[in-house]
Amino acid sequence: MSLAEDVSIEEATYAFDRAVAELHMPDTVHAEYAGDAKAYRQSTGAQPLLILAALFAVYIVLGVLYESLAHPLTIISTLPSAGLGALLALLLFRTDLSLIAFIGIIMLIGIVKKNGIMMVDFALAGERDRALEPPQAIFEACLARFRPIMMTTLAAMLGSLPLVIASGPGSELRRPLGITIVGGLLVSQMLTLYTTPVIYLLLDKLHRRLWGRGRTHHAPGQLFRSAARALKSSQTAPGHVQRP
């Protein structure tokens, strides 16, 4: 049995659940999905876990890179606006949150967080190398990184635009991917240029209040490189005997 015209699988499963509930069947009788409907329900149930796993992986990688617990939160704060933009775009175009659209949201996690990375990295370099105060450092970071952020965002948006306006066989499968990417990038670009500096300063004040004003910002990966050099020098030092 196939779906009716202009009826999504989400609407069909919802109508089916409501019809089954109205039947008031005994406990010994159970209704379950099969085929595409079963695969759809399983995929939608695993989507929140996939998003949480992706965010956790991003936080771990950024935490190791910056050797900090606060700065990864500043970068991850750019992601909710992208998700909001993707959902609003899907609502505007009356498109379901399908598996293809969900893949677009996962792609947005990797695309959008580069805005925060470029600003935070430049601000930390200013605090570390030129002894700038956090407000001045993040202000200069926004000015210096505005053009590269706009260039990369526009390139990704224009590259995804053909997926939205394309027609022909298979276009209905690719269109949700383009809608989520374009909508997420558009909204996140308008919001993150304002919210990222605010969150950066709030986390900086919280860090100073909890751990004091004396902070030393290391270059990304500096402690790991220093540990590797120390280990290498200890192995090559005179009197060091390497076990067979």
What are phi and psi for residue 215, nearest 5 degrees? -125, 145
**Distance spanning both ends of the chain, measured CA to CA:** 70
For 122-167, the pLDDT digits (tens) are 888 888 888 888 899 999 998 998 999 899 889 989 998 888 888 8
Closest CA to 63 of 227, 224, 230: 224
95, pLDDT greater than 70: yes
Contact 94, 87 (CB under 8 A): no
Q: CB–CB of 200/135 below 8 Å?
A: no
pLDDT at 242 over 60: no
| DSSP string of 4-73, one letter each residue | PTT--HHHHHHHHHHHHHHHT--TT------THHHHHHHHHHHHHHHHHHHHHHHHHHHHHHHT-SSHHH
Statement: residue 182 has pLDDT above 50: yes
Alpha-carbon span 109 to 54, nearest angstrom: 8
Average pLDDT over residues 199-207: 86
Reported pTM: 0.69
In whole angstroms, what is the distance from residue 230 CA to residue 192 CA?
40
pLDDT at 184: 92
State the CB neighbour count (10 A cutoff) for residue 212: 8
Identify which of 23-32, 37-46, 161-170 has the greatest average pLDDT: 161-170
- The better pLDDT of the pair 68, 43 is held by 68
Q: How many beta carbons lie within 10 A of that of residue 160, not counting itself?
A: 22
Distance between CA 157 and CA 151 in Å, rounded? 10
Q: What is the pLDDT of residue 89?
A: 92
Res. 222 pLDDT band, cuts 50 70 90:
low
Check residue 97 and give its pLDDT.
79
Q: Is the pLDDT of residue 202 over 80?
A: yes
